Every structure is written in structure tokens, then in C-alpha cells.
Amino acid sequence: MVPTGPRGAFLTFEGIDGSGKSTQARRLAEELRAAGRDVVLTREPGGSPGAEEIRNLLLNGDPDRWSAETELLMFTAARRDHVERTIQPALEAGKVVICDRFVDSTRVYQGITRGALRGTVDALHAMMIGIEADLTFLIDMDPEAALARATTRPDAEERFESFGLELQATLREGFLDLARRARRFRVIDGARPAEEIGADVTRIAHSFLETPA
């Protein structure tokens, strides 16, 4: 899916569960809207009606009813629908799309936690999705603190958040490794007050949108 015509900007938030991605994605959307930009705030898995249906299947029920490969196909199917119906049309209309998680989550969660699927994740992405974020905020923080936040959250889906500390530490390293390999990443220290993090994120986003690099 190669974008055509005028293109907005595609910003993503990544990080382990409870690191503050949703909070920061919401804040940034508000800040950019207040600055007069047309913003679509969305999330994965989900972000379009069909993808939200797949989200419910993925995040509820016995996680072992699918193999790692089947799960990867479902995340990819949800993403394809999300890109077709929500992300691509918004980008083509020149909007700023802010997405809470995208393919980097698949690279880390499906790529390294449930088997050695990293190569398959990238191959499927190239074949079925084809777009990357222009700018990715990695909200980085200690898994112990993040896990404490995630488990006190009232709406936490059980499917993924019972992962435990050791796995969250592996995921954190996986994200940091991705960030070292691609220029689009900005690593943000997430163990600070939300306002402080938000100020950094907003400054970086404004400067990127003014002069995309």
C-alpha cells in the first residue's frame, strides 16, 4: 500500500504495557489540535470497526487457542483493515495520524516472545502493510513500575497483561533494540510526571512536523 497524493504525517507511540503510551498519545492529539492541526487519534490492535472485532478476539479468551503464527496473522489482518480504512485515507487527506502501537509492537511481541517469528513479521509486513511511521515515540521505563500501573488500571484486558516482569523486561530490550536501528525513533524517559513527558513529546512533534527529517 504505497501512499499517493498529498500526505500528512504518521506518528506512533510504542512501549511496554503501562508505560503511558495511551496517555501521551491523547495528550499529543489535544496539543496538535489546539495548534490547529487536523488529527486522527487511533490505536492497535483496532482502530477501524473490523480491526476492533479482531482486537476482541485477540485480547479476550484463552491465549493458547491459537498458535503464535495464527496470532501473528490476526494482528496483521487487523492492521491491514486499519491501514486501509483509517490510516491511509487520513494520511492522503493530509492529516496527522497518531497511533497507539503499530508494527513495532508486532516485531517485539510476536517477533521475540512467542517463538522466533521476527523474519516472518517483517516479511508479512512488507507483503501486506508496507508503511512505517514517520516518527515513533518509544516511551521507555522500568517494567516493574510500568507493570504496577498496568495492573491497577480498571480496563486492563487480561490477555496480554498477565505477562509478568521477566517478559516485560525482554520486551523493553526489544523496543530499545529497534530504536537503535531506525532513525524515526525518539526514546522518551517514561518514569516522570505525565506533564513533563508530554512537554518533551509535544516539542519533538512540533519540530518534526515543521521540518520533517
Closer to ligand TYD by Cβ: residue 59 or 73: 59
Q: Is 21 in the site for ligand ADP (CB under 6 A)?
A: yes
User: Position 76: which residue type?
Assistant: T
Farthest CA pair distance, the chain: 47
For residue 179, give the C-alpha cell.
530504536
Cell 489482518 belongs to residue: 77
Alpha-carbon distance values, 18 to 39, 108, 153, 162, 179 (Å): 24, 16, 9, 12, 19
The correct pick among 24, 86, 105, 202 for binding ligand TYD (CB under 6 A) is: 105
Cα–Cα distance between 131 and 122 in angstroms, integer?
Answer: 11
Between 37 and 149, CB nearer to ligand ADP: 149
Binding of ligand TYD by 170 (CB under 6 A): no
Say whether residue 153 binds ligand ADP (CB under 6 A). yes
Residues in 106-165 at the binding interface with ligand TYD, rule: CB under 6 A: 106, 109-110, 150, 160-161
Question: Among the candidate windows 1-9, 59-67, 106-114, 189-197, which touches ligand ADP by CB under 6 A?
Answer: 189-197
Q: Which is nearer to ligand TYD, 5 or 29 (CB)?
A: 29
Task: Kindly report the number of other CB atoms within 10 A of residue 201's CB atom.
Answer: 21
Calculate helix-pair angle for 68-82, 118-128, nearest 10 degrees.
Answer: 30
Residue 160 interacts with which of ligand ADP, ligand TYD, none, CB < 5 to 8 Å by class: ligand TYD
Q: For residues 174 and 181, give the distance between their C-alpha atoms in angstroms, rounded to a whole number.
A: 11
Pick from 12, 19, 88, 136: which binds ligand ADP (CB under 6 A)? Answer: 19
Pick the stretch among 82-90, 102-110, 122-130, 205-213 that binds ligand TYD (CB under 6 A).
102-110
In the complex, the smallest distance separating the C-beta of residue 173 from ligand TYD, rounded to whole angstroms, is 16
Peptide bond preceding 212: is omega within 30 degrees of 0, i.e. cis?
A: no
Residue with cell 525513533: 185
Which residues of this chain interact with ligand TYD, rule CB under 6 A?
17-18, 21-22, 44-45, 59, 75, 100-101, 105-106, 109-110, 150, 160-161
